[in-house]
Structure 1
Amino acid sequence: MEMSQLLHVFYIIAIVAEGMTAALAAGRRNMDWVGVYLLGCITALGGGSVRDVLLGRHPLTWVEHPSYLLITGGAALATIAIARYMHHLRRLFLFLDAIGLVVFTVIGCTIAMTMNMPVIIVIASGMITGCVGGVLRDILCADVPLLFRAELYATASIVTGVLYVLGEWLALPHDGVIIAAMLVGLALRLLALRFGWGMPKFVYTKDLH
């Protein structure tokens, strides 16, 4: 299977997993089925949509491929039927979420590179694609975004993007660069989950008055 095809398979797996985890967040907020469907779509496709808007890239991914709305929303609705069993699959979904993070990052970087964007924009595009969907989900659920409180989430995305861009700049074999960047980013995210690694936190409790 060619790398582009493999990335597409991983992308489908990732948006399904994101749609399902979003459904669980919707359930914790007692949303109706429409809310579950919409939150699933926003979580899975929101990062790519924000990236495309910021880069001026049209049509948006889900407009170009409307089937993605059916896939993500359908996955979210399907979660309602199997929600009672989802806690048994927690580790699997954390793993799939980590795969989604690095896959979305590489895809975001690739799109920005094809538009001849500066390096910092390429890396930011990868991070936006990988992380912003989850931020939108948490905002809609009135939670502090996972991006700002989890173990090395954005950091894993940035590392993946930097390695991918560096490999392309050095003209290393394209498929090898993608695999290496994704493996390093995936390993960093999974190790952070396993050992609770995180960035230093800023704690300020003094009252200004």
Structure 2
Amino acid sequence: MPHTEALLFPLAMIALVAEAMTAALAAGRRKMDWLGVAMLGCITALGGGSVRDVLLGHYPLWWVDSPYLLLVTGGAALLTIGLARFVHRFHAIFLLLDAIGLVVFTIMGCNIALGMNQPLLIVVVAGMITGCVGGVLRDVLCNDVPLLFRSELYASVSIVTGLLYIGGIKLQVSPDLVIAAAFAVGLTFRLLAIRLKLEMPKFVYDSDNA
């Protein structure tokens, strides 16, 4: 495991579980069966990294290389079925864990692309895909407009985090320091976006009034 991924591994595991549990709640709102709950949990938690690996030709996919990730994410989703009546009490914690997941997955995605000597733009996109696409897949499968396109700043947080991380690595700053700085800035940015309800400008087109 690369040095950067080893540093982020504990946070990544927590984020994977959190993503799977939020996906399970979305599945419950759509009245999916238990298999659907487990599958949606896996797809949400692992989908961003999988799409990144396919687009970059980075094989094996991370859950193929580490099959236990399927057990962790699927198990967390199924566990949520039994805890559903209590989970709503921890909404703030889930928001925090989701923010941590966005930042951590972004850094890990950038690290993979850097290791493949991809151009700067591709590295940034790889980080954004890793951090954001799992939630997009969840919302599409639940027939919702993806949260990425309708709520507080999300992809923007990923881009800023990725640029900070890439810049620090290119300047040959200590990887530990770069990770800490990118993580702190990205997490703070995302939590402020939630708190202050910061959003990208929306495009509203009403054909009846055009």
Specify the TM-score bucket, using the shorter chain as the normaliser: over 0.9
* 1:142 partner letter: N
Residues 126 and 76 of structure 1, relative CA distance in 2, 3 Å threshold: same
Query: Following superposition of structure 1 onto structure 2, how do residues 134-145 of structure 1 map, counting pairs within 5 Å?
Result: 134-145=135-146
- Bigger mean CA offset, 166-175 vs 122-131: 166-175
Instruction: Name the CA distance, whole Å, in 1 between partners of 2:209 and 2:56.
Output: 40
| Conservation of the 8 A alpha-carbon contact between 2:5 and 2:108 | no
Cα shift at 1:207: 3.8
Q: Report % sequence identity.
A: 64
Structure 2, gaps ≥5 residues long = none
**Secondary structure at 1:203's aligned position in 2?**
coil
| Conservation of the 8 A alpha-carbon contact between 2:109 and 2:130 | yes
* 2:72 partner letter: I
* 1:74 partner letter: G
Cα shift at 1:106: 0.2
**Secondary structure at 1:133's aligned position in 2?**
helix
Instruction: Name the CA distance, whole Å, in 2 between partners of 1:3 and 1:58.
Output: 18
**Secondary structure at 2:207's aligned position in 1?**
coil
Cα shift at 1:143: 0.3
Match of 1:129 in 2: 130
Match of 1:31 in 2: 32
- Bigger mean CA offset, 44-53 vs 5-14: 5-14
Instruction: Name the CA distance, whole Å, in 2 between partners of 1:92 and 1:40.
Output: 18
Q: Give the TM-score taking structure 2 as reference length.
A: 0.96
Deviations 1:24-72 (A, max 9, x none): 0000000000000000000000000000000001110000000000000
Instruction: Name the CA distance, whole Å, in 1 between partners of 2:104 and 2:88.
Output: 24
Cα shift at 1:168: 1.0
**Secondary structure at 2:204's aligned position in 1?**
coil
Match of 2:155 in 1: 154
| Conservation of the 8 A alpha-carbon contact between 2:105 and 2:127 | yes
- Bigger mean CA offset, 190-199 vs 166-175: 166-175
- Bigger mean CA offset, 5-14 vs 180-189: 5-14
Cα shift at 1:4: 4.3
Aligned length: 208
Query: Following superposition of structure 1 onto structure 2, how do residues 64-75 of structure 1 map, counting pairs within 5 Å?
Result: 64-75=65-76
Query: Following superposition of structure 1 onto structure 2, how do residues 2-17 of structure 1 map, counting pairs within 5 Å?
Result: 4-17=5-18
**Secondary structure at 1:47's aligned position in 2?**
helix
Residues 3 and 47 of structure 1, relative CA distance in 2, 3 Å threshold: closer
- After superposition, the CA RMSD in angstroms is 1.3
* 1:163 partner letter: L
Match of 1:198 in 2: 199
| Conservation of the 8 A alpha-carbon contact between 2:4 and 2:108 | no
